[in-house]
Amino acid sequence: MNCLWCDAEIIPEINWENLFTLSKPKNLCSDCEKKFSILEGKRCRKCSRISEEPFCLDCKRWDVHGENDDPLVLNFSVFNYNEQMQDMISRWKYRGDYCIGNSFKRYYTKAFDQEFTYLPKDTIAVPIPLSDERMKERGFNQSLQLASFLSLETCELLTRVHGEKQSKKTRKERISTLNPFKIMKTINKPVILTDDIYTTGSTLRHAASLLKEKGCPTVYALTLVRG
């Protein structure tokens, strides 16, 4: 098997653990894996920003009235947004390389299994949607691919109205933008939103607020990268 990123041949490690377990073969070589920067150390409990304080200033601002009025319980992110991750996400999303997404599966599922053990069994995964136009451009929704990695029922409850790309907006514009999502049905189960990048949190909170309005009791998020 060859590395999904650099195409180098992957030579399987032979050890006692591999001999007696049904471990899945890696799809990235060791050199490419070493370039990943996994988020470690102290972080904001709500958004995963590196922080010495339990809650960063941004998250305190989201909870304006101090009455837990933030629709999003928390977001957990897996990676830092370093140069390697920027290149991989660009090729994955903007050049339509669906297979690149599979290189994140092992890390994404591990984060879910370790960090969300308390979620009820009826929790559903809801991917952040693309607009119809963006879907035609890319051919797939990266957030739906991430949702498919989880051992949960996946429901595409949200639709998106076409608008300017989030990546082209300033931080202030992202936070103040109107809700770009629509939802047509009620939902009475807990939800974990899946998306590739957490930047300001506005996208996830727009989605969470709609879900809450339609009866969802709690909304969490698992994102691949903390921008």
- pLDDT per residue of the chain (227 residues) written in tens, 0 to 9: 899 999 999 887 766 555 555 556 688 999 999 999 999 999 999 999 999 999 999 999 887 655 568 999 999 999 999 999 999 999 999 999 999 999 999 999 999 999 999 999 999 999 999 999 999 999 999 999 999 999 999 999 999 986 656 556 665 565 557 899 999 899 999 999 999 999 999 999 999 999 999 999 999 999 999 99
Residue 1, domain member (yes or no)? yes
Give the domain extent around 193.
Answer: 44-226
Same-domain status, 83 and 157 = yes
Of 218, 191, 221, 216, whose CA–CA distance to 204 is shortest? Answer: 221
Residue 39, domain member (yes or no)? no
Same-domain status, 111 and 3 = no
Same-domain status, 26 and 126 = no
Question: The tokens of 110 are what?
Answer: 């591990």
Tell me the three state secondary structure of residue 209. Answer: helix
Rounded Cα distance between 154 and 204, Å, is 17
Rounded Cα distance between 226 and 30, Å, is 23
Same-domain status, 17 and 103 = no
Of 141, 147, 161, 140, whose CA–CA distance to 191 is shortest? Answer: 147
Rounded Cα distance between 117 and 113, Å, is 6
Of 196, 135, 190, 143, whose CA–CA distance to 167 is shortest? Answer: 196
The pTM of the full predicted model, rounded to 2 decimals, is 0.88
